[in-house]
Chain A
Amino acid sequence: MTVNDMVSILDAEIITAGDLNAEVKTACGSDMMSDVLAFVKDQSVLLTGLNNPQAIRTAEMMDMRCVVFVRGKQPAPDVVELARQKEITLLKTQHRMFTACGLLYTNGLSGGCKS
């Protein structure tokens, strides 16, 4: 699916747009950036309830294209600006983490984690 497809599946609001046509194959849901850095491989989307700048930095270091804030979390303007500079799409959904991940999974997105 594309980032655009995720917007409709999650009924998400686009906070800042990078490449909305970017192809997305795998995603990771976590509020713990340490774990994302240590365990995640080749995932293009991060779903998180953590809305500080380090969520964007982590996505940047991991070459992720999109960060989805769950539970309706709205990042502060400096966080949005950082994502804009890095051309990372930011989405916001009212769904909770479990539901958001479930919706994406049932629509064909996989976890794709390697140990």
Chain B
Amino acid sequence: MNNTLSFDYIVPGDDFTRAGEASSDVKHKLKQIGYDPDAIRRVAIAMYEGEINMVIHAGGGKAHVEISPEKIEMILADHGPGIRDIDLAMREGYSTAPDNVRALGFGAGMGMSNMKKCSDTMEIDTKVGKGTTLHMTVLAKKKQ
């Protein structure tokens, strides 16, 4: 028996107001399933940060989510400009977000490090000019 549920979302890049809809839906589904509340919150925050990044930097993208009793996997893929320097992008406070995005409450340079903090594993596959794919896993029970 396959105990994994999978969901796919389009993250629209042209409408900042809609950013977070996919994360909201995943959070809702996990609550319905009765998933561990701490895991739900970590998934919600990590995925929401990822969605916001896709909207701000990449003109949107696609999100694929797999939910199993043990873990939740999130694959966020875009065809944006790619990340030139991952170490720099991971540094807290570093941001390439334009002023108009900061005026909307984002671009404090905390997104990437926060995603890493919330997830149990995070892999970034990025090519400048081609796009970025982010693979995050949140375990149902966090590793101590």
Given the known A-B contacts A32-B105, A34-B105, A37-B48, are A61 and B27 also in contact in the complex, defined by CB atoms under 8 Å? Answer: yes
Residues of A in contact with B, size category: 20 to 34
CA distance in complex: A54, B111 (Å): 14
Looking at chain A's contact residues, the main secondary structure is: helix
Instruction: Determine whether the beta carbon of B20 is less than 8 Å from that of A37.
Output: no
Instruction: Determine whether the beta carbon of A55 is less than 8 Å from that of B113.
Output: no
Instruction: Determine whether the beta carbon of B19 is less than 8 Å from that of A37.
Output: no
Q: Is B13 positioned at the interface, with any CB of A under 8 Å from its CB?
A: no
- The distance from the CB of B48 to the nearest CB of chain A, in whole angstroms, is 5
Instruction: Determine whether the beta carbon of B48 is less than 8 Å from that of A35.
Output: no
Given the known A-B contacts A37-B48, A37-B49, A38-B113, are A61 and B107 also in contact in the complex, defined by CB atoms under 8 Å? Answer: no
Residues of B in contact with A, size category: 20 to 34
19 A-B residue pairs with CB within 8 Å:
A33-B106, A34-B105, A34-B107, A34-B109, A37-B48, A37-B49, A37-B111, A37-B114, A38-B113, A53-B18, A53-B20, A54-B52, A57-B48, A60-B44, A61-B23, A61-B27, A61-B41, A61-B48, A63-B41
Q: Is B68 positioned at the interface, with any CB of A under 8 Å from its CB?
A: no
Instruction: Determine whether the beta carbon of A54 is less than 8 Å from that of B49.
Output: no
- The distance from the CB of A85 to the nearest CB of chain B, in whole angstroms, is 9
